[in-house]
Amino acid sequence: MVMDMGQEGRQHTVELDYRLTRRDILRGVRFRERRRRLDLVRWAVMAMFLAFAGLIAIGPHPSAGSSITMILCAAGFWSLPHIQAHHAWRTIFWQGDYHTSVSEAGITTRTEYTTLMQRWSVFRGFRETRDHVVLLSRDRNNLLVEVLPKRGLSTPHDAERLSALLAEHLPRI
């Protein structure tokens, strides 16, 4: 933990240094899907395509091409979170290493090319897993705002401080 002197006195700051991976982004995308219950919709659409493939295959005029098309559509729906995570990663990977500071004022993320300061009022809440912290936006159309991989913390004790600092400002979701 690094102690800074701010205008209001001492601020507790937790620092993270990391490089985002597809897996980090995928964790955030999957959490967003579960939160919005889109995973249920995705599974229902996959089941529908697989059922149609089965009906076409056992019907009076089986068509291998149509069955394969339905199976490929089901596979496409299954892979949507992976495609979204890959697309997001391709959009940001060039920024390189991230240095994120979580403080009483909010979250500041710096890369070689950008600096982004997000106040606590931007976030709706957070979810913590064993390896990540996912922060969600108040904007319902953009639930995924920030993924913080815990591997970026310098010590295991920083994870407890990060969790306490987030819980002080945001509800757990």
In a domain, 66, yes or no: yes
pTM of the model: 0.76
Query: How does pLDDT run across 46-89, given as a tens digit for each residue?
Result: 999 999 888 888 888 888 888 888 899 899 888 889 998 999 89
pLDDT at residue number 4: 46
- Kindly state whether residues 82 and 101 are assigned to the same domain: no
Kindly list the distances between the CA atom of residue 61 and the CA atoms of 57, 67, 70, 78, 90, in Å, as whole numbers in the listed order. 8, 11, 16, 28, 44
Domain count, the chain: 2
| Residue range(s) defining the domain that contains residue 60 | 36-86
- Kindly state whether residues 164 and 109 are assigned to the same domain: yes
pLDDT at residue number 36: 78
- Kindly state whether residues 71 and 100 are assigned to the same domain: no
- Kindly state whether residues 62 and 14 are assigned to the same domain: no
- Kindly state whether residues 108 and 162 are assigned to the same domain: yes
- Kindly state whether residues 48 and 100 are assigned to the same domain: no
In a domain, 69, yes or no: yes
In a domain, 8, yes or no: yes
- Kindly state whether residues 58 and 120 are assigned to the same domain: no
**Could you tell me what percent of the chain has a pLDDT over 70?**
92
